[in-house]
Structure formats: C-alpha cells, structure tokens
Structure 1
Amino acid sequence: MSKHAVVAGVGMIPFRKPGQSDPYAVMGANATRLALEDAGLAYDKIQQAYVGYVYGDSTCGQAALYKVGVTGIPIVNVNNNCSTGSSALFLARQAVESGAVECALALGFEFMQPGPLKSAWTDREAAMVEFTNIAAPMVQDAIEAGVPRALTLFGGAGREHMQRYGTKLETFARIRAKASRHAANNPLAVFRTVVTEDDVMAEKVMWPGVMTRSMACPPTCGAAAAIVCTEAFAKKHNLRTDVRILAQSLTTDVAPSFEPPSMIGLVGFHMAEAGAQAVYEQAGVGPSDIQVCELHDCFAQNELLSYESLGFARTGEAEKMVLDGDNTYGGKVVVNPSGGLLSKGHPLGATGLAQCYELTRQIRGSAGPTQVEGAQLGLQHNLGLGGACVVTLYGRG
C-alpha cells in the first residue's frame, strides 16, 4: 500500500469579520465535526490531534476538541505565525507517515481582532526584531508614515520587485481583481463582490505608489480541519482514499533571507523557493505539472512574488504571467480558486487548513463552481514570517 497519507475528510466553517463569529472553541469544534462527517468517521477513532492558533492561551486546542469528545488522546497546540494551520497539518501527516499513529486530526482556528496584526506582548523583545531592524533602512518612508508592520514588509517587497523589474502597481490591482472574480463563486468567502483593476486603483491609498486598501487581506475569524490517515486505516473503516498528500516540506529562513539585505528575501521568498523545490523533488514533478494552487496571498504583492518562488514564473517575469492570464481559469495554473486570503480574510491558525479544504475538494472534483477542470495535482503554499513556510502537494489516490 502507498506510504502517502490519505486526506480522508475536511471541514471548514464560513469565515466571519471580527465581532461576528462564534467563540474560538465553538468554531474549532464545528470545523472538526464537519471533517468527521465528511470522512464518515467517529471522533473516538482519532489517535492524535494537532491544533493551530496564534492568538490564544495554552490548551485552547483542548478547549475546542473537548466539545467534540473527551477521549484522552494527545493534543498538541501549534503556533507558527501565519503558517500555523499547515504546520499542524505537517505534524499530523508526519505522525501518520512515520507509523506513530494510523489516523490524526489537524485543526486550525483563530479569533481575530479588527485592524492590523500586532503582538500580544509589549514587555519583551519581539520575535521579529531582526527582520524589522534589517528592513528599516529600506522602508524608512513607510515607518515614518506609520504604515503597519506587515504592510511595510510585504509592501516593501512589492516595491522592490517594481524597482528591479519594472512591475506596475496596476499588476497588483489586477491580481486583487482576479481574486474577487474567483471568490464570487465561493460561498465560504467573506468578500464576494467583483471588483475591477480600476476599482482597486481608486481605493484608499495605504502607502503611496505601493499599495491600496484591498491589496491587503483583512483579519477574519474562522476554523478548518482535516483528517489524515494511512491507506490501510482508510480501507479498514471504509473511508475514501482518493486524495493523498504526495509531498510536503516545512522550511525556515536561510542565509539569503537576510544577506544581502532585501525586502523580497525578508518576506520569505527563499524559504518558499527551497520548500517548493523540495516538494517537486519528493514527488518527481515540476511546476508545469500543477493545475491548481492555493497560495499565501496575504497581500497581492506576495501572490506575485510567490509565482516566482514556486516556479510558475521565472524571476522577474511574474508580471507577464498576470498579464497573460496564466494565473486563472484557462491559463497555465489556476491560483486561489477560493478567492484566497484576499477574499476569505486571514484567520491565522485556520488559513492553512482552509487551503487544504479547497484543494482536497479540487482533487476530488467536488469543488462545485470553483472547480478547476481536470485537476490532478494541487499545490499549497502557506507562509509565516519569522519564519516558516509549508508547501504541500496533493494528488489523486
């Protein structure tokens, strides 16, 4: 039998704006129940659980899962910044493929506050102090203008791409408009209104010449879950085996992230590049073999950068990919058919598992109006500054 972990069930609740969601434990429990229902499996068959969230006290994972069942299993709480959900999936998949367990649950949720991301702690050195210190000379204008940190980092990377390769601000607006067209077909997306490139360019300017408002994803609240198991376990319990994790990598920053100083390096380009290459080598495929991709578009700028780090475009040529329509239906690879973070928002702990939810349905052929015709291989890219990047390849069983 295949050594690849089977994705037997997925569940996701609709994401909501801050202040409009259920409490985190309710969201997490509901997403877990949906994944169990999708799999046709009872909770007492889960042998380990990995639960991701960023903004919460210890054992929030237990608080959520105790609402589903109290079975004594190991529950590991995971925090890896914006890649938290897929880090939980990485651990669940690793536990299954190593033989430690036959069936594991990965759950991610987040109860977000309005406004830009900020640290919960002000009495100690920030984890990303080295990043911000290196970035400061390159984005001093944004710092002086009071631009939020995440926007400064990713906006600075986008501006660097514009300066190096002549990429236009309108290209990022076109990426945002594409996301809105995809989200219009996704009932779980928060923002489903179709906008045009001109609409995006006419919005409130967050950083002159660098970013308008909807080029940045908003904070939202939500939860998603996945059940992974061995093929033998799936067959024993009459579970579906049509989607597998063919390859997966979790990478952290490498030396070029910091030296020479570069905004593109600081926002994870090199660790994403290394992670993607590792996955392609594990699976024996290349970027041209991928039909559908859910990538980390926390900003439209990062989506464009990710086309290059994941190998869909050569360095400096991502703008051409956008202008040619090779990032949407009818093009080379359909990127973020769900609408991505730009349309669903970004509940940090849930994002990676929401991507898993979408790609599992794409490979099954059950994604409904977002379905990519003939999807055989789906790539997931989930990035957390600080840093961690998880790249996952899904394929048919």
Structure 2
Amino acid sequence: MVRRWQPPWRRWSVRNRLMAMTAIPLAYLFFTFLWYAYHSRLSEVREELAERGPLVAKVLADSSEFSVIARRHDDLKPTINGLLRTDPSIHRIDVLDAQRRELVAAAARAPGGTAELRYYEAPILKRLMWVAMLGPDGKPYQKDRPAASGVTVETIGYVRVTMSPSALLLKQTRRFYVELLVGSLGLLACVLLAWQLAKGLDASLQASMQALREADAEKRRLIGKVNTAVEDERKSIALEIHDELNATLIAVRLEGQRIADLSPEGEVRDKAQSIIKLALGLYNSGRSLVRRLRPEVLDMLGLEGAVEELVRHYDSARSGCRFDLQARGDFSRLEGDIAISAYRIVQEALSNIVKHARATQASLSLALEQGELRIRIADNGRGFDAALASAGIGLVGMRERVYALNGSIALETSPEAGTLISIAMPIR
C-alpha cells in the first residue's frame, strides 16, 4: 500500500501541538516587536539628523556673516571646534565662499563611518539696508513725505555641516538592547507558563479525546446496527408485499378476468375490465416498491450487476445526463452489509445528480484495490458550495453509512465546477 505524505505536525503529541499553538503567535509577536523597535530607532536617528543638521547649519551661517565679510576666518574656528566637541553627531563643518571655495574646515577627531553621512547646507547672507534721502525729482523728501528705503540681500558664502549617525545609532542601539532583553525575558516567561499549562491540559485532553473516540466508535456501531435493522425491515416489508399483497392482487385480477369472461357486453363487463386494470396498476406499483425497498438484482447479480442495472435505469430516464460505469475486481466476495451500503450510496449519489446537478455527463467507478472498496462518482454539473455540504440530508446519510463501516469519504466541489465524491471502505 502506498503511504501518503503527511505533514510532520500530524505526528506530534497533544502537548507539542498546544505548545506550538502558543509559541508560534508569541514568537511572531516577539519578532514583530523587535522589527518595529529596530526600525523605530533607525527612524528616530534619521528624524533627529534631519532636524538637527539644518538647524546647526542655519545658526552657524547666521553667526558667520560678520567674520566672512571682515575676512576674519580664524574667529570661526573656536565656534566650529566647540560645536564638534559638544555634538558627537557632527562629523565635519566647512565654511565656503560664494564660489564654494573652502575658507574654514574642521572635522571631528574620531570620525564615524562615511556610509551614512548626511550633508546639510545653509547660505551666509549679507544684508544691506539703504535709505534714499532725495526723491526722483532730485529734491529732498519733506516731512509729510518719508524717505524711500529698502534691504539688499546677497549670498557671500555657505556653511556645510556633515552629520554622522554613528553616535546616535550607538545610543539607540543601547536602548534597543534593553528592549530586547526585556522582550526576551517576557517571551521566556510566557513559554514557561505555556509549558506548564500544556502539561496540565494534556492529561485532560487525552482523556476527553479518548472519550470522544469511544463515543464516535459507539456511534458508528449504532449507525451500522440501525442501517442493518432498516435494511432487514425493508427486506421483510418487501417480502410481505411480494408474497401477500402482490399475490392478492393477482387473485383479484384473475377473478376480475373471470367476471369479464362470464358477463355479456354491458356495464358489468366494463366494471370488471376496470378492476383488472386497477389490479394490474397496483401490482406494478407493488413490484416497483419492492425493488426500492430491497433490490432483488443485488441478491441475484451482486453489487456490480445491481449498480450496472441502476446506471442503466438512470441512463435511460431521459434526464439529459449520460452515465458511464467502470468496475474492476471480483465483487462476489463482498459481505452483505458492505454491498447494500455501497448500493445505497451509489443510488443516492446518482439521484442527486439527476435531481440537482444539471449535469450532462457523469461517471461512476467501482474498484476492489488493496483491501478496500473504492467508489468514485464525478459529474460536470453546476456543483455547490462545499461549506454547505453538511446541510444536505442525502450527503449526511452517505457520510454516516461510510463512517459506520470505518471508511472515508472526500467531497470536491465548487459552484459551476462539477462534483467529485471519492469513497474508500475496508473489506474483510
């Protein structure tokens, strides 16, 4: 027998499954927390650099205006060096003239890496205020007419501040390690608590699962007994109808025929003919009822012949659907309960195809393979939502018949995609 591949967790114990159910969400939350904390720290560094760099460049550019105009560049060095000492995130400061030629430059003594350096620049502006004492006509302004004035702004240089995130990253890394330690301790405490809870629940779950297995096995035995009792009762009713009712109807028909033969033409003869027709109709209905209650062909021809007769009946019913049957194996050695259950399952499936599927093609396969009776029923009908499969009485009955014989059933369907039913029942 070919063994199907199964996921490894199907072989885990209940305790391991409980631990996995607890540990996986905890681990997900833990690593999500780490990812968020790490990226939030990086984001804080970027935001702080983006806020501090332009501010330092702007302040230094405003304070360098006089020194650049007066060409007293050495006066800028103490200020620049003081900034480099007090702010470790500043990597380098350059003061440039209007043509971007270097006037003053200073770098930190312990420079960080150059991969993440950020550059921020601010112009050094020279502001000139002027007042025109003469008007356009060349005459001085009077008291009632103020003098014209204005401000001229000229860029005389630039201050470039190079920021390094190394110092800020070091500070944020320390905070991240503290958060990592706290999160790891919390995760460890949760895992230990989950382990203790899993140990406590394992015994009770094992007992509950064992009780459920025993209840399920008992339910299957009861369903099997009920199905057997139902089939026996059907057989008994069918025999009574066949032996008693049908025999009586034959006698009624014969008596009606004798009355018709002895009576001349007239009302009595017509009534006798009506009795004959009614008796014949009741007899045919009785035989049809007997076949439904207990298929005689199953006892005479076995499962393969009975199913073949059933397929022929549905194939000739003018339902618009063509049926195809394939059978492999010797079905004569099947036990009666398995044969009648398989017949009822096939009967219910074919009836559902005719009533609900609106299919044009259906196939039925019976096979005795590897100690199992395998039934495969497929159609190209409209299908249905598999989530609503439990709502159908017919499907429930099929499933219960299969489970009562320790078999398995699989249903594959979706709207407008047909239906496939696969059944496997062990044979003894």
Q: Do the two structures share a fold, i.e. TM-score over 0.5?
A: no
Q: Which has the higher contact order (CA 8 A, sep 6+)?
A: 1
Tell which structure's C-alpha radius of gyration is larger. 2
* Structure whose residues are more often helix by fraction: 2
